[in-house]
Structures are given as structure tokens and as C-alpha cells.
Amino acid sequence: MHTDPRFKITYTLTAWDYAAMARALTRRPWQRSVVTVVLWLFSVWCLLVFYTDLYNPVTMVSVVVESGSWLWVFGCIGLVALLSLATHWLAWGASFLYYRQIASANATITMTLSDDAVRVTSSVADSTVPWTTVKRVIREKRYLMLPISKREAFILPRRGFETEGSFNDAWRYASKQISAGLAQL
């Protein structure tokens, strides 16, 4: 049963849209990133304890500095910290390399939000996904995203909406539909 669409937008998928989706789906709370860095530092400390039999971190740092390998050790620690804290930016950058390989690159997409489902029509494929499949709504400055898995989301760029108000209304509508779907579970 098809209900009348509440919102309908048409846009052409660009590499920037795809990159925004990749960044939004891989972003995690900063607290989790800090915990990851702390666990990595603890792992490095454990490895250094294993190889040096030194347990005191201050003594360990002085031995590493005296051995001449301080640049290598601290460079690796810095790299691990960067990778742990900026994974969403790395995914963003990598998405530009991957964009040309996806079937929907530069495709014109029509996205319809109705009471029962999200419908996507393009030259590549047509799909209808019930609201219960959508995990949440991600709202960014220029996008609404409706994730359906850890790697996929429906992208609704702001430029596809006629007005700022309709963009905000679509966000509220999608949030309401997802909340209603969660209440049914």
C-alpha cells in the first residue's frame, strides 16, 4: 500500500554527498576516541615493559630517549593517537577515492518520504525501505542522513529541498517516523 508522499526531493549524488555520509557514519563520540587512545597507549606501555623489564613510565621514557629510538616510538604513538581520534576524517578522505566505483556515482536520485516507507528511485535501482529499517536520523548543516546499516544511509542534501523550512520539517518528520517505529518494536 503506497501512501501519499510527505516529502519528495530530487538531486544528483556527488562525491561530496558520499563523503559526508562516510564521515557521519564513522563518527563516534569523542569520549570513545579518548578511551581508544588510552587503550592504545596502555598496549604500547605493556609492549615496552615486555621488552625492557621497566615498569616505571618515567624511567621507560628516559631509556627510550637515551636509546635514540625516541623519534620512532613517539612517532608511532602520535600516529596511533591521530588514527584513533580522526577515523571519521580518514573515512571522509577515502570516500573520495571510492566514489567513482559505486554504481550511484553522479546518478539523479529521487527520494520520497511517506508514512509507511522511504522510497528511492534512480537510474541505477529502485528501492522501498520501511521506516523500521532506518536506524536513526543524522542531521548535519547541509544533510539529513537516514542510516540503514553501519555503512549505508539515505542521503538527503539540503539543496534538494525547496526551503529551509521544508528541510527542517523533513528532519522532524523522519525523527517522528523512526520514534514511532521504535515504539512498535
- Note the pLDDT tens digit of each residue in 69-128: 778 878 888 888 888 788 888 899 999 999 999 999 999 999 999 998 999 999 899 999
pLDDT at 25 (0 to 100): 93
157 phi and psi, to 5 degrees? -70, 145
The secondary structure element, H or E, covering residue 86 is none
Instruction: Provide the residue type at 92 as one letter.
Output: W
Cell reading at 6: 510527505
Cell reading at 69: 629510538
pLDDT at 183 (0 to 100): 56
pLDDT at 78 (0 to 100): 85
- To 5 degrees, how large is the angle CA 61–CA 67–CA 68? 100
Cell reading at 12: 544528483
E strand residue ranges, the chain? 5-12, 108-114, 117-122, 126-130, 138-139, 143-147, 153-157
Cell reading at 33: 576516541
- Note the pLDDT tens digit of each residue in 97-111: 999 999 999 999 999
E strand residue ranges, 69-116? 108-114
The DSSP code for 111 is E
- Note the pLDDT tens digit of each residue in 11-39: 999 999 999 999 999 988 888 888 888 88
